[in-house]
Structure 1
Amino acid sequence: MLGRSSGAEDEDNQLFRARAITSPNARRLRGMSLTKSAVSVLLARHTEKNSHKHRACPVQMRMQMNYTDTDSNTTCVMTYSHDGFGLGHLRRNTTIASALARQVPDSSVLMMIGCPSGAVFKLPTGVDFIKLPSVIKRNTGVWLPLRLRIGLEKTKALRVATIQEAVRVFHPQILLVDHVPVGIWGELLPSLQMLKRRGDAPTIVLGLRDILDAPEVTRTLWEREGTYEAIRRYYDEIFIYGRKELFDTGAAYGLNQFAPKLRYVGYVCDQEPPKSQSEMRRELQIENKLLVVTGGGGADAFPMMLECMKALKILGANSGLEAIFITGPLMESGQREHLGDMAKGLNVRVLVHVDDHLSYMNAADLVVTMAGYNSLYQLVRLGKKGLVIPRSGPSAEQQTRARLFAERGLVDVILPAELSPERVAEKIMDDLERTDYPAYEPAFDTNGSQTAADRLAEHLTAVRMSSTAYYSGRGQGETRIYR
């Protein structure tokens, strides 16, 4: 620091420690110690020395007077989603965080996200996010910076440092990690190690969607990257966002070795009730049969939507159909504009993003979508007829899920190898007339977000009790800050 004596710097350092000691967060910091009398002296000296500054800044005084630190009464939960492709990981964590915030009113949920659009979905009071530099998945285990013109190593370093500092300062009682146990590039490992070294170690939970990739691909990758050992070492529980009766995630991906940690919580779906079909159709002024075409976040939805738009051109403006395309915020602007140009002359609207996505789907006579986790499970939750067009890659997740649902009579499917405008046009008209699907699936449980929130609330209760015992047992000696 320029222009400061070493004595002044030492006093500032001591003052920082003194302030921290008297804050509600004192127990959360480590490594420095001062006696209580020294704390009092330092704070008194600082108040006297700087009192003129406060008199000169009444706005600052008012801000300080009105500020209420509620941190001592708050339980802190952190979530992580790498968000390297699409909105699925962010959507699940947001839905669970919202359910937990409702259930535990004094909780604060801090979401670590990588979505280039930020927190796309509405966040309730008590939930906020930190945006990591965005990356994109190019292939299995291959990630690249999405927006910054920097190299891999600098991108990695930025993400690792941001996560680790947030974990250190926020001091979560629970960490919920979605999909990637050690983070991309192993970026979570330093934070996982730091958390496990804490005297009041938090509960660390891994959340996995039901279908990850082809089982052999995931097993090989996890063996190579040491993921199984990381799960064994760092994770207290594993949430499977699905039902074992529909897909045995544990058996498919070698997770049954952690059987005591496994918990199938059901499918994580938005629990907000949609508007009724009739109400939404009045609001949208729909007069004909309605086709809603949606591709989740939209990053990879253009090929599917392009084929659908070509199919509508084949059917023509006199087909008796109206269509709404919801491209998603992650679709490239040029692709979206191309769809808009193609829609001219047709009874078609092209929208980027809608807040009430469920109500739009509920208004439809037929939904055309990809086979992503959120899109497909929301479709089945609503009991709507769906024509599903899974993407061809880079993983086998969507094609596996589409086949599984088609076999149970829940959806109709066009696989990538069969995709053409003519095939889509034929399926649209056939599916609009069909009455034999969707079938009823008794094992389909869409309360996963609430079940997960209930379980996290149980962990918070246990962690609170454990933390109380931990700190009450540390004695009444000199005041310490634990970093």
Structure 2
Amino acid sequence: MAAEAAGRPPKRAIFFVYDGGTGVGHLRRLGCIARRLQGRLSCLIVTGHRSAAHWFVPEECEYVHLPSWDSLLEAKARYWGRRPFVFLDEADAVRLRKAILTAVVEAFEPDVIFVDHLPLGAGEEIADVIKDTRCLKYLVTRGVLNETVNLRELVFGGKAGRYLDSYYHRILVATDRKVFDFAAQYNISPEIREKTVHTGYVTDSVPQGTVKTAREDRGLKDGDTWVVASAGGGQLGEPLIEGCLELVRAYPDVTFDIVQGPRSNIAWTWRHRDVIETGNLRLHRETHQMPFFHAGADLVVSSGGYNSLLEALQGNAKILCFPFWKDRRDEQYRHAARLRQFVDLDVSVDLSELPELFARAIGSIGSRGVRDRRAELDFDGTGAIERIVHRDLGLSG
């Protein structure tokens, strides 16, 4: 029975999206969870991602837009040839965001707080909110960490570790334990280990009927080969997109959809269009159809971001990954490498290998190859989180 039908107002949940990185995957992940919880909870997302929010924040939820690090810090704004909208040093930028976040929490009065990726935020701007707000607090992590930027320390060490121990109710690991065992991989304290729950992957499901429709809408017939290439949000993935564009003319019988991404710095000269079609290529600036493209393709070429991989795994695609984080200890490479036991996937940190690996993958489409085990993976992370939150809040039925 819905809370409002029982005469009780819904509980309230705030989702703080990490936006200190290069992509929009953190917003996608929390948006999936908010969509699942909305109804019995009223879900408010707080994010610095402006252009992506209108696609990835569920219509039934609401969001507050924070001034983003990209528009506050000169070093970040420079990547796109922009200037900050207001000139602040980093300490003042943190104070501004902290004041806004505190005001949002005081106004909304949440029963639950979800924090993504870093327990204290990119600049410790949510530390006081976590310490002082009386409600349930969950850290959501994709599980595999970028170890070259010392994320172990940023998540488990020092002040972050103390806050996880003292103020967080649970750590929700949005990964299938069969692929990556978070607690076994990282040296975490017994207290934090006790709070850690593997939920399975968090993603929007793509029904097989929708996959079929996506191919039909693209004009594909039986036997046609569809390649979808993207670099997630696009930032740092520009060389991969340029490499994929070079393949289009070499494979005139293959249908390509290549997506630059909303955070790419590749110049887009068509001011009033978001997609350009020439011959066997559709080039997209960005598209909200990405989950259906990835699930419907025969071959996905990707930088190996969490959401891109999960979308491709819901279809039948072969996968090529070229992470822009080049170290094999980092998330994009390590996660893709662990998935090789479940799906036909190649991963390389050397983009010069793209033509050879692409030719091999195209040539193997239609062959039986190794046994595909993607059906063994757990994609019900949002369902598991819903059950956990309802239980912790005492929402029966």
Per chain length, whose mean CA-contact separation is higher, i.e. which structure has more relative contact order (CA < 8 Å, sep 6+)?
1
Mapped contact 2:211–2:295 kept (Cα < 8 A): yes
Compute the displacement of 1:122 (Å). Answer: 4.9
Further displaced range: 260-269 or 421-430: 421-430
Mapped contact 2:14–2:44 kept (Cα < 8 A): yes
Compute the displacement of 1:345 (Å). Answer: 6.0
- Would you tell me which structure has more helix in proportion to its own residues? 1
Among 40, 53, 65, the residue aligned to 1:119: 53
1:185 aligns with 2:118: no
TM-aligned CA distance change 1:220 to 1:124, over 3 Å? closer
1:303 aligns with 2:236: no
Q: Could you tell me which residue of structure 2 aligns to residue 110 of structure 1?
A: 44
Mapped contact 1:307–1:420 kept (Cα < 8 A): no
Among 443, 448, 457, the residue aligned to 2:381: 448
Mapped contact 1:388–1:411 kept (Cα < 8 A): no
Q: Report matched runs for 1:314-353 at 5 Å.
A: 315-317=250-252, 320-332=253-265, 334=267, 346-353=279-286
Further displaced range: 237-246 or 217-226: 217-226
Mapped contact 1:275–1:362 kept (Cα < 8 A): no
Compute the displacement of 1:282 (Å). Answer: 2.5
Q: Report matched runs for 1:204-223 at 5 Å.
A: 204-214=137-147, 217-222=150-155
Q: Report matched runs for 1:258-273 at 5 Å.
A: 258-273=192-207
Q: Could you tell me which residue of structure 1 aligns to residue 63 of structure 2?
A: 129
Which structure 1 segments of 5+ residues have no match? Answer: 1-70, 196-200, 465-483
Q: Could you tell me which residue of structure 1 aligns to residue 312 of structure 2?
A: 379
Mapped contact 1:290–1:321 kept (Cα < 8 A): yes
Q: Could you tell me which residue of structure 2 aligns to residue 254 of structure 1?
A: 187
Compute the displacement of 1:149 (Å). Answer: 4.2
CA-based RMSD: 3.0
Q: Could you tell me which residue of structure 2 aligns to residue 148 of structure 1?
A: 85
Compute the displacement of 1:76 (Å). Answer: 0.8
What is the DSSP-based 3-state SS (H/G/I as helix, E as strand, rest coil) of the residue aligned with 2:32? helix
Compute the displacement of 1:442 (Å). Answer: 6.0
CA–CA separation in structure 2 for the residues paired with 1:269 and 1:362 = 12
CA–CA separation in structure 2 for the residues paired with 1:117 and 1:345 = 26
1:90 aligns with 2:18: no
Deviations 1:331-366 (A, max 9, x none): 2350687xx9xx986410112333332222233221
Compute the displacement of 1:227 (Å). Answer: 1.5
What is the DSSP-based 3-state SS (H/G/I as helix, E as strand, rest coil) of the residue aligned with 1:371? coil
Which structure 2 segments of 5+ residues have no match? Answer: 1-6, 78-83
Whichever residue aligns with residue 169 of structure 1, its letter is A
CA–CA separation in structure 1 for the residues paired with 2:58 and 2:354 = 42
What is the DSSP-based 3-state SS (H/G/I as helix, E as strand, rest coil) of the residue aligned with 2:202? coil
1:77 aligns with 2:13: yes
TM-aligned CA distance change 1:130 to 1:422, over 3 Å? same
1:157 aligns with 2:95: yes
What is the DSSP-based 3-state SS (H/G/I as helix, E as strand, rest coil) of the residue aligned with 2:287? coil
Mapped contact 2:295–2:311 kept (Cα < 8 A): no
Whichever residue aligns with residue 297 of structure 1, its letter is G
Q: Could you tell me which residue of structure 2 aligns to residue 175 of structure 1?
A: 113
Q: Report matched runs for 1:389-400 at 5 Å.
A: 389-393=322-326, 396-400=330-334
Deviations 1:149-205 (A, max 9, x none): 42212211111011111111111000011111011111111111221xxxxx21111
What is the DSSP-based 3-state SS (H/G/I as helix, E as strand, rest coil) of the residue aligned with 1:190? helix
Mapped contact 1:214–1:396 kept (Cα < 8 A): yes
What is the DSSP-based 3-state SS (H/G/I as helix, E as strand, rest coil) of the residue aligned with 1:110? strand
CA–CA separation in structure 1 for the residues paired with 2:220 and 2:16 = 40
What is the DSSP-based 3-state SS (H/G/I as helix, E as strand, rest coil) of the residue aligned with 1:73? coil
Mapped contact 2:313–2:374 kept (Cα < 8 A): no
Compute the displacement of 1:299 (Å). Answer: 2.1
Compute the displacement of 1:148 (Å). Answer: 3.0
Q: Could you tell me which residue of structure 2 aligns to residue 227 of structure 1?
A: 160
Mapped contact 1:86–1:296 kept (Cα < 8 A): yes
Mapped contact 2:24–2:52 kept (Cα < 8 A): no
Whichever residue aligns with residue 460 of structure 1, its letter is L
What is the DSSP-based 3-state SS (H/G/I as helix, E as strand, rest coil) of the residue aligned with 1:205? strand
Which TM-score applies when normalising by structure 2?
0.84
Whichever residue aligns with residue 139 of structure 2, its letter is L
Mapped contact 2:52–2:262 kept (Cα < 8 A): no
Q: Could you tell me which residue of structure 2 aligns to residue 52 of structure 1?
A: none
Mapped contact 1:246–1:443 kept (Cα < 8 A): no
Which of the two has higher C-alpha Rg? 1
Mapped contact 1:97–1:453 kept (Cα < 8 A): no
CA–CA separation in structure 2 for the residues paired with 1:436 and 1:255 = 39
Compute the displacement of 1:454 (Å). Answer: 2.0
What is the DSSP-based 3-state SS (H/G/I as helix, E as strand, rest coil) of the residue aligned with 1:323? strand
Compute the displacement of 1:77 (Å). Answer: 0.5
Q: Could you tell me which residue of structure 1 aligns to residue 3 of structure 2?
A: none
What is the DSSP-based 3-state SS (H/G/I as helix, E as strand, rest coil) of the residue aligned with 1:413? strand
CA–CA separation in structure 2 for the residues paired with 1:306 and 1:210 = 30
Q: Could you tell me which residue of structure 2 aligns to residue 282 of structure 1?
A: 216
TM-aligned CA distance change 1:344 to 1:382, over 3 Å? closer
Q: Could you tell me which residue of structure 1 aligns to residue 392 of structure 2?
A: 459
CA–CA separation in structure 2 for the residues paired with 1:132 and 1:456 = 26
Compute the displacement of 1:235 (Å). Answer: 0.3
CA–CA separation in structure 2 for the residues paired with 1:377 and 1:143 = 34
Mapped contact 2:296–2:316 kept (Cα < 8 A): no
Q: Could you tell me which residue of structure 2 aligns to residue 7 of structure 1?
A: none
Whichever residue aligns with residue 285 of structure 1, its letter is G
CA–CA separation in structure 2 for the residues paired with 1:277 and 1:136 = 35
Deviations 1:245-272 (A, max 9, x none): 2211112233352232111110001025
Which TM-score applies when normalising by structure 1?
0.70
TM-aligned CA distance change 1:438 to 1:226, over 3 Å? farther
Compute the displacement of 1:421 (Å). Answer: 4.9
What is the DSSP-based 3-state SS (H/G/I as helix, E as strand, rest coil) of the residue aligned with 2:144? coil
TM-aligned CA distance change 1:223 to 1:280, over 3 Å? closer
CA–CA separation in structure 2 for the residues paired with 1:455 and 1:448 = 11
Compute the displacement of 1:423 (Å). Answer: 2.4
Task: Give the length in aligned residue pairs.
Answer: 373
TM-aligned CA distance change 1:239 to 1:399, over 3 Å? same
